[in-house]
Amino acid sequence: MKVPGYRDHPTEAWDPVAPADAGEAEDFLRRCYLENLRLGPVEPRLAIVRAQIAATGTYTHTTEELSYGAKLAWRNASRCIGRLYWRSLVVLDRRRARTADDIFSLLVHHLTTAGRDAIRPVISIFAAAQPGRPFARVWNEQLIRYAGYQGAKGCPVGDPRQTRFTAAMQGFGWRGKGDAFDVLPLAIETPAEGVRLYELPERAIREVPIAHPEYAWFAELGLRWHAVPAISNMRLTIGGVHYPLAPFNGWYLGTEIGARNFADADRFNMLPVVAARLGLDTSSETTLWRDRALVELNRAVLWSFEQAGVKITDHHTESQRFMAHLRTEERAGRPVPADWTWIVPPMSGSLTPVFHRYYEELDLRPAFYLDAEAATLARDGSRHCPHGEN
């Protein structure tokens, strides 16, 4: 389907040496100025941008273009269910920061800004990549992640997803406490300084202890989770210009924590523990012990965040909000790309309205992309996979 004002793209493969795509720049600027009439006519701006690309291989976004481009990237994010609020994104222009110290200071500010009082959607946009030149990046997949260790007798401690990354950080000299909820350091790479590690201060890490509205023993499990889900290794692409360091956050959907982070067998794997404390019959899958334990685990997450005054949303409410977003965008004549496998929540999917329809998955820009190298760095803490893995 061709949509006026948009260009269809295959799954994006970024060539860091290539100059900015002048056609993509024009598409974005026309869309930006069409949706923001206060910016004035677009033709004079296009002439400037064409000249900049011809002379340097790229161009510089104005503050207004950068801000609206980031919001459009959220609006276009096919895997995000929370796009109803895309206009409320707080955009922090950090393009002048160059040193690792400066970047770290601004990342701390991002977390404190996003996590202060009510959780706010925030993006911090650092310097754009210049064609053929190295660029700054954060290796971590999120600004806050818990370490993973191999405990006694091979039993995992913490988050098994982070075991390789944790080992790599230890190889750089970092030493955690060995606990289940050790916050990993930030690995910040800059062209001039290489990789440097930074410990986040306590003021930047807002956490919620997990208890249950009915079962007092739940608090004895010692679970907790951080309040701000800030993705830090995705590249933001706006009008042919690439921003490899542009961490962004919304607020948590309860099932992200309760049905995935805590429940997945290759993560914290808490369902057998909760089922045992509930006294459930786990001898057969037909008892649906996993489902019953999953509901109580998710109740605990939602209740705990609400008790702590930390913003979170449940999958039923957010599904209804996404349907409202669909209606709003359709009235505006805009397509809504969506990946069904991500939009439908990981529990009680058929009880939500987002389950009962199909979606078109368009690759519309501006957009966020996870590059292969960025994914490898976040998983392994290295550009090379260990043991010959892909």
Residue partners of 186: CB distance under 8 A and separation at least 6:
104, 107, 138, 140, 143, 197, 198, 200
Q: Which stretches of 41-192 are DSSP H helices?
A: 43-56, 63-75, 100-115, 163-171
Cis preceding-peptide flag for 121 (omega within 30 of 0): no
Q: For residue 198, report the phi and psi dihedrals to the nearest 5 degrees.
A: -135, 130
Residue closest to 138 by CA, chosen among 243, 226, 227, 238? 243
Catalytic residue among 32, 45, 74, 80: 80
At position 355, the amino acid (one-letter code) is F
- Does the annotation mark 342 as catalytic? no
Cβ atoms within 10 Å, residue 370 = 13
Catalytic residue among 86, 139, 251, 303: 251
Q: For residue 326, report the phi and psi dihedrals to the nearest 5 degrees.
A: -60, -45
Catalytic residue among 24, 65, 141, 256: 256
Distance CA 278, CA 283 (A): 14
- Does the annotation mark 32 as catalytic? no
Residue closest to 383 by CA, chosen among 182, 189, 191? 189
Output the six-digit token pair for 106.
Answer: 């601004």
Residue closest to 56 by CA, chosen among 131, 155, 106? 131
For the stretch 78-81, contacts whose Cβ atoms lie closer than 8 Å and that sit 24 or more positions apart, written own/partner, are: 78/337, 78/338, 78/339, 78/342, 78/359, 78/361, 78/362, 78/363, 79/339, 79/342, 79/343, 80/250, 80/342, 81/253, 81/318, 81/319, 81/321, 81/322, 81/342, 81/343, 81/345, 81/354
At position 33, the amino acid (one-letter code) is Y
- Does the annotation mark 80 as catalytic? yes
Catalytic residue among 75, 83, 94, 267: 83
Output the six-digit token pair for 280.
Answer: 């459930």
- Does the annotation mark 256 as catalytic? yes
3-state secondary structure of 19: coil
Distance CA 372, CA 61 (A): 26
Distance CA 284, CA 275 (A): 13
Catalytic residue numbers, as ranges: 80, 83, 251, 256
